[in-house]
Amino acid sequence: MNVIKSLTQNKVAMVGFSILFIFVVIALIGPYLYDGSPWRMVQRPFLPPFQNSNYLLGTDTLGRDVLAGLIYGARISLLVGFVSTIIALLIGIPLGAYAGYYGGWVDEVLMRFTEIFQTVPSFALAVVLVAIFEPSVYSITGAIAIVSWPPVARLVRGEFLSLRSQEYVLAAKLNGQTNRNIILREILPNSLSPIIVLASLMVASAILLESSLSFLGLGDPAIMSWGYMIGAAKTVIRQAWWLSFIPGVAIAITVLSLNLLGEGLNEALNPKLSGNREN
Amino acid sequence: MKKIIMGAVIACLPFTASVYAQPQNGGTINVVVQPEPPSLMIGMYSNGTTQQVGGNIFEGLMRYDKKLVPHPLLATSWENSEDGKTWTFHLKEGVVWHDGQPFTSADVVFSIDVLLRETNARLRTSLAFVDSITAPDDFTVVFKLNQPFGPFIRLFEVGTTPMLPKHIYEGTDFKMNPANHHPIGTGPFVFKEWQKGSFIHLAKNENYHVKGLPHIEELYWHVIPDAASRSVAFETGKIDVLPGGSVENFDVPRLSELDNACVTTDGWEFFSPHAWLWLNNQEGPTADKRFRQAVMYAMDREFAKSVLWNDYGKIAKGPVGSKTTFFDDTLPEYEYNPKKAKALLKEMGYDGTPVRLMAMPYGETWQRWTEVVKQNLEEVGIKTKLVATDVAGWNQKISDRDYDISFTYLYQYGDPALGVSRTYLSSNMAKGSPWNNAEGYVNKQVDQWLNEAAVVFPDSKRAELYSKAQHQLVEDVPVAWLMELEFPTIYNCKVQNLVDSAIGINDAFGTAWIKQ
């Protein structure tokens, strides 16, 4: 409760939260309000924004409605962002937990394994993965999850390393609780706050990653996304700058809102850390 | 009519006296070459840019004007025997190679019968009709054919049949010959220098066999890998000529509106690039003729032409390009008619099975075109699933017929027997090549017409057979024809008489000149 209270009092975080909330709502209900496909060629190409009230943001190089693209793009960006983050957490948390809890050779093996993924530049790896498995929303989500779990594993391992020698953990051990119970019921709940903060930032970087992939033409060819819109418009930037600008702003705002929210969560969950700043 | 003497009748070189003022000598022309060619040895590499640069160093026996009529170049005249089976060529005297050696009939026999037969697969197919090539004297070459072969007269353009020096290549490993790096031809320009990744420098051939040509002193081909930089180089005046296809389509309108920019779509008549959708005739819904016709009616090709190609090009009526020979313009037209498409689909009982639509990974325009076609098809109720792939994967999938619908464009090489039949003959449908009958179309009657049309004599009989074949093909829609593409060449208006042959830039600079 304290956390929520402190979060609601943090204006910056609330701004981030509100923007994100609006985007989520648009993503959920937009396609029902907006009939038809975002690929439909509805008007003459290169219609500038705010000239035709039916197509408020104008049309792209093929005469497709830019606003429809934005709405459908919000859906795919947020979906890929959240789902890939959840998958990354599902990989990273258990690995980090085992490594940190057991230590010794388990730790060695799991951390060396993690380092393999950490040493490869994540974007390059994502490009290769998507190219191998052919671009689709599944391969993109999977690729982003695969390149973004190592920081989770390292973070969780660090938390577990410091928490496993705490008195309440030792008490649980003496109680005869199973290792599994200790990990899930004792240590994990206590290390959740940094994970939540990290996750919110991971969603932001996953959205960026997805946009970059689509920008490079590695997006799902059947799905309209923000990165695709920028990629398709980059070549006409001198004739129609707004075609790259509008989805670019959408990406920037979404990522910014997630960062603000993450920052707010960090302050709310780690009052000790943020205390310094308030003083 | 004893002998058909062609060369003498139309001998006029250079082609046409320029309609502009008297040509001026001197000056340098800077041209973009995109991508950098792997070699300038035109007889061994058929890459587009090898032809562009090499075509100004080497020459063929003839040049073809924009109506594909042959004109004398290294051959001054030629005649065909009455039965159509013996061709005699008379060569120009006094022509020398860039190294000073004389050009004779021995070079012609060697180039065609030995070197090109080994290195040029496309020519080799046609040489199957040739029994012997002999040189009775230094300036006469005789070809004996085993049967009349209509397209024979269109084989002698520099890209298909360049003349190569016998005294340099004979008895060597052709691919490894050091002269490949320092090409020696008879053309208007001599090779000077090639700084890889930067430029290729050609200079005026002082001993060129055509009096008064070339007018240009220096010719630089610049390698600029980035499309945006190529446009900028033209805008700043560093580049005088952007050959067709060297800038992206969407940049064409902007560049052509610049002061001092001239645009021409001429110079592609020989190639006549023809774009179509491959439709798998063997499997899936596309195996049904009504489905294929529905695809034709579903596509808004006018839209694609105006939006994607800036209105350059022409809607294709059928398999043969309207600028090449034997095009039949009485063919019925498939107009944009979604209603008809829906009716056809209903009639065949199309159940909504999704078809795979594979994009051609040739850049921006093709990507957008795929999206347009996908939308057109979905609006008449054809469900599509987009397949993305790279160039190698695309070649592979087309070759293996592992697709439902995909894109391509192929050259027509001036004669249906050279560039059209290969796509529709059932004898040519073996898997393994993306340039043959990759759709798997089988119609024995069409086979017979096309095969016969290649070898009957004279041309009027060929035309009749090709007309029949075209009408049947348009009815069967083995592939969905999209457009006859045009690649505009953009150049600085100070360059005069730039494109005056059917292969355009590939042999342009011998006759071009700069207005001071």
Residue position matching structure tokens 């060929």: B462
Q: Cite the DSSP H helix spans in chain A.
A: 2-9, 11-33, 66-102, 104-119, 122-132, 137-148, 150-163, 167-174, 179-181, 188-190, 192-215, 226-233, 242-269, 271-278
Quick check: A191 and A163 in contact, CB under 8 A?
Answer: yes
Q: Is B386 on the interface with A (CB under 8 A)?
A: yes
Q: How far apart are CA B319 and CA B296, in angstroms?
A: 13
Q: Is B229 on the interface with A (CB under 8 A)?
A: no
Whether B378 sits inside 8 A of A221 (CB atoms) is no
Q: How far apart are CA B201 and CA B189, in angstroms?
A: 10
> From the candidates A235, A239, A241, A243, which should be mutated to test the interface with B, based on the most B CB atoms within 10 A?
A235
Residue B21 clears pLDDT 90, i.e. is over it: no
Residue B129 clears pLDDT 80, i.e. is over it: yes
> From the candidates A41, A72, A223, A225, which should be mutated to test the interface with B, based on the most B CB atoms within 10 A?
A41
Whether A274 is covered by a domain: the verdict is no
The alpha-carbon gap from B277 to the nearest alpha carbon of chain A, in Å, equals: 18
Query: Quick one: pLDDT band at residue B390, thresholds 50, 70, 90?
Result: confident
Tell me which residue in B359, B372, B385 faces A62 most closely, judged by beta carbons: B372
- CB interface of B with A, residues 196-225, below 8 Å: none
Q: Is A236 on the interface with B (CB under 8 A)?
A: yes
Whether A111 is covered by a domain: the verdict is yes
Instruction: State which residue of chain A sits closest to B389, comparing Cα positions.
Output: A134
pLDDT digits (tens, 9 = 90+) for A144-159: 999 999 999 999 999 9
Query: Quick one: pLDDT band at residue B459, thresholds 50, 70, 90?
Result: confident
Whether A110 is covered by a domain: the verdict is yes
Q: Which two tokens stand for residue A155?
A: 């973070």
Residue B515 clears pLDDT 50, i.e. is over it: yes
Of B391, B388, B385, the residue nearest B359 (C-alpha)? B388
Instruction: State which residue of chain B sits closest to A235, comparing Cα positions.
Output: B250
Average pLDDT estimate for B286-300:
94
Residue B496 clears pLDDT 70, i.e. is over it: yes
Q: Cite the DSSP H helix spans in B73-175.
A: 105-109, 117-119, 121-127, 166-169
ipTM exceeding 0.90, yes/no: no
What distances in angstroms separate CA A171 from CA A78, A192, B249, one per listed residue?
Answer: 42, 20, 73
* Pairing of β B495-496 and β B405-410: unpaired
Query: Quick one: pLDDT band at residue B362, thresholds 50, 70, 90?
Result: confident
Average pLDDT estimate for B344-367:
88
- Chain A neighbors of B372, CB-CB under 8 A: 41, 62
pLDDT > 90: what percent of chain B? 51
DSSP state of A184: I
What distances in angstroms separate CA B35 from CA B191, B197, B198, B223, one per listed residue?
Answer: 19, 10, 11, 7
Residue B11 clears pLDDT 50, i.e. is over it: no
* Pairing of β B140-145 and β B130-137: antiparallel
Q: How far apart are CA A219 and CA A88, in angstroms?
A: 20
Quick check: B393 and B311 in contact, CB under 8 A?
Answer: no
Q: Is B248 on the interface with A (CB under 8 A)?
A: yes
Whether A39 sits inside 8 A of B371 (CB atoms) is yes
Whether A239 sits inside 8 A of B368 (CB atoms) is no
Instruction: Please calculate the CA angle A204-A208-A209 and round it to the nearest 5 degrees.
Output: 115
Q: Is A238 on the interface with B (CB under 8 A)?
A: yes
Whether A100 is covered by a domain: the verdict is yes
pLDDT score for B149 = 87
- The β-bridge partners of B274 are B410, B484
Phi-psi region of A271 (alpha: psi -120 to 50; beta: other; left: phi over 0): alpha
Instruction: Please calculate the CA angle B122-B157-B59 and round it to the nearest 5 degrees.
Output: 115
Using 70 as the pLDDT threshold, list the residues of chain A that sit under it: 1, 271-279
Q: Is A216 on the interface with B (CB under 8 A)?
A: no
Whether A220 is covered by a domain: the verdict is yes
Q: How far apart are CA B267 and CA B52, in angstroms?
A: 12
- The β-bridge partners of B405 are B279, B357
Quick check: A268 and A194 in contact, CB under 8 A?
Answer: no
- The β-bridge partners of B78 are B89
Tell me which residue in B308, B375, B388 faces A39 most closely, judged by beta carbons: B375
DSSP state of B102: B
Residue B7 clears pLDDT 60, i.e. is over it: no
Q: How far apart are CA A77 and CA A65, in angstroms?
A: 18
Q: Is B372 on the interface with A (CB under 8 A)?
A: yes
Helices and strands per DSSP (H, E), number in chain B: 16, 22
CB-CB neighbours of B220 under 10 Å: 20
The alpha-carbon gap from A221 to the nearest alpha carbon of chain B, in Å, equals: 6
- CB interface of A with B, residues 9-48, below 8 Å: 37, 39-41, 45
Q: Is residue B314 within a helix (H) or strand (E), and if so which, with residue range?
A: strand B314-315
> From the candidates B229, B247, B250, which should be mutated to test the interface with A, based on the most A CB atoms within 10 A?
B250
Tell me which residue in A40, A61, A221 faces B375 most closely, judged by beta carbons: A40
Q: What is the pTM for the complete model shown?
A: 0.81
pLDDT score for A272 = 64
Whether A222 sits inside 8 A of B385 (CB atoms) is yes
Q: At what angle do helices A137-148 and A192-215 cross, to 10 degrees?
A: 130
Query: Quick one: pLDDT band at residue B4, thresholds 50, 70, 90?
Result: very low
3-state secondary structure B174-221: HHHCHHHHCCCCCCCEEEEEEECCCEEEEEECCCCCCCCCCCCCEEEE
Identify the burial level of A112 via C-beta atoms within 10 angstroms of its C-beta, where 0-12 means exposed, 13-18 middle and 19 or more buried.
Answer: exposed
The alpha-carbon gap from A240 to the nearest alpha carbon of chain B, in Å, equals: 11
Instruction: State which residue of chain A sits closest to B252, comparing Cα positions.
Output: A236
pLDDT score for B477 = 94
- Chain A neighbors of B378, CB-CB under 8 A: 37
Tell me which residue in A45, A232, A238 faces B307 most closely, judged by beta carbons: A45
pLDDT score for B10 = 43
pLDDT digits (tens, 9 = 90+) for B84-121: 889 999 999 999 999 999 999 999 999 999 888 888 87
Going along chain B from its start, the domains and CATH numbers come out as 7-59+173-267+488-514 (3.40.190.10), 62-167 (3.90.76.10), 274-484 (3.10.105.10)
- Chain B neighbors of A135, CB-CB under 8 A: 388
Which of helix, strand or coil describes residue B42?
coil
Whether A83 is covered by a domain: the verdict is yes
Whether B368 sits inside 8 A of A232 (CB atoms) is yes
Average pLDDT estimate for B300-313:
90
CB-CB neighbours of B248 under 10 Å: 16
Average pLDDT estimate for B483-502:
91
Instruction: State which residue of chain A sits closest to B254, comparing Cα positions.
Output: A239
Q: At what angle do helices A66-102 and A150-163 cross, to 10 degrees?
A: 40
Domain that includes residue A183, residue range: 2-39+55-269
Average pLDDT estimate for B455-459:
84
Instruction: State which residue of chain A sits closest to B385, comparing Cα positions.
Output: A222
pLDDT digits (tens, 9 = 90+) for B168-225: 998 888 888 888 889 999 999 999 999 988 999 999 999 999 888 889 999 999 998 8
Residue B363 vs residue B152, higher pLDDT: B152
Q: How far apart are CA B75 and CA B85, in angstroms?
A: 19
CATH number at residue A214: 1.10.3720.10
What distances in angstroms separate CA A211 from CA A238, A251, A267, B29, one per listed residue?
Answer: 21, 8, 29, 43
Q: How far apart are CA B43 and CA B51, in angstroms?
A: 9
Instruction: Please calculate the CA angle B180-B186-B192 and round it to the nearest 5 degrees.
Output: 55
Residue B123 clears pLDDT 80, i.e. is over it: yes
Whether A239 is covered by a domain: the verdict is yes
Whether A29 is covered by a domain: the verdict is yes
What does residue A219 show for φ and ψ, rounded to 5 degrees? Answer: -80, 170
Q: How far apart are CA B58 and CA B205, in angstroms?
A: 11
Query: Quick one: pLDDT band at residue B292, thresholds 50, 70, 90?
Result: very high
- Chain B neighbors of A235, CB-CB under 8 A: 248, 250-251, 364
Radius of gyration of chain A measured on its C-alpha atoms:
22
Instruction: Report the sign of the C-alpha dihedral through residues B377, B383, B386, B391, in that order.
Output: negative
Q: Is A275 on the interface with B (CB under 8 A)?
A: no
Tell me which residue in A62, A135, A221 faces B307 most closely, judged by beta carbons: A62
Q: How far apart are CA B406 and CA B396, in angstroms?
A: 12
Number of domain units in chain A: 1
Whether A41 sits inside 8 A of B303 (CB atoms) is yes
What distances in angstroms separate CA B330 from CA B175, B284, B317, B333, B470, one per listed residue?
Answer: 47, 31, 10, 9, 10
Average pLDDT estimate for B343-354:
92
Half-sphere exposure of A83 (CA within 13 A, CB side): 14
Residue B241 clears pLDDT 90, i.e. is over it: yes
pLDDT score for B191 = 94
Q: Give the amino acid at A91.
A: I
